[in-house]
Structure 1
């Protein structure tokens, strides 16, 4: 008859008492093995990442809107009528005449009574910067 080994002792016929080489606790006094709460960790991680993506999206959206606004102003100025070559760094004024045609001028809006659309400055990249 085989000797009965208690349940709380780690013993096998092939390996004998091998509790010291096992990767987990094997005696009654050992700390309990508990599963980590990864669900809350995942939900916090998802929440943080989603906030990051939302912030980045809003930042890119604002940059896109600024880019489109710059594009529309540049298109408006480049499609206007002017009979001179604009100088980089100079300030120019965009007006609309009585016939509805846009034209570019050096004359400021306080110097004459025309419909003023905006004031622009030409930068070194040949891009019109809207000033007011």
Structure 2
């Protein structure tokens, strides 16, 4: 008998039926010789990589939120400073109606109180009538004052 011959009567057809499927994408192995290689993955490695990616992404988002909060804190500080400066200017002697967007000068008198003027320190020349120049300010549309220039620590009113 020739060994290369296949005896078709000895083929178990029920066993061969188990080797085929209607849904080849659902089996755990390649269903024919031309299929892509299917290699089982280590579940712990997959989960570990997913967790590392999750922490990386959430850390980035938390850093972004932290930076946004820092920006908001800085803006709130600047706004508080503007309110403090504005209170000091509105307590000063103002003998004119300030115009929004115009620049004015705050001086300290010899008596210790403040005065707002339209005259810059350079325009006074040698006849400077006040004890000190405090700040160059601009009236904003919300009627707070922006400090453009300051001779001292005026920002920390």
The TM-score with structure 1 as length reference comes to: 0.70
1:84 equivalent in alignment to 2:101: no
The SS at the match of 2:116 is: strand
Q: Which has the larger radius of gyration?
A: 2
The TM-score with structure 2 as length reference comes to: 0.61
1:117 equivalent in alignment to 2:125: no
1:126 equivalent in alignment to 2:143: yes
Q: Structure 2: any 5+ residue segments left out of the alignment? A: 1-14, 31-36, 150-157
1:61-101 CA-partner distances (Å, limit 9, x unpaired): 22122212222211111121212212233322111112211
* Distance (whole Å) between structure 1 residues aligned to residue 29 and residue 62 of structure 2: 42
Q: Which runs of 4+ in 1 moved over 6 A?
A: none
Alignment RMSD, CA only?
A: 3.2
The SS at the match of 1:118 is: strand
In structure 2, the residue matched to 1:14 is none
Q: Structure 1: any 5+ residue segments left out of the alignment? A: 1-5, 12-16
Could you tell me which of 106, 111, 115 is aligned with 1:99? 111
Count how many residue pairs are aligned between Structure 1 and Structure 2. Answer: 123
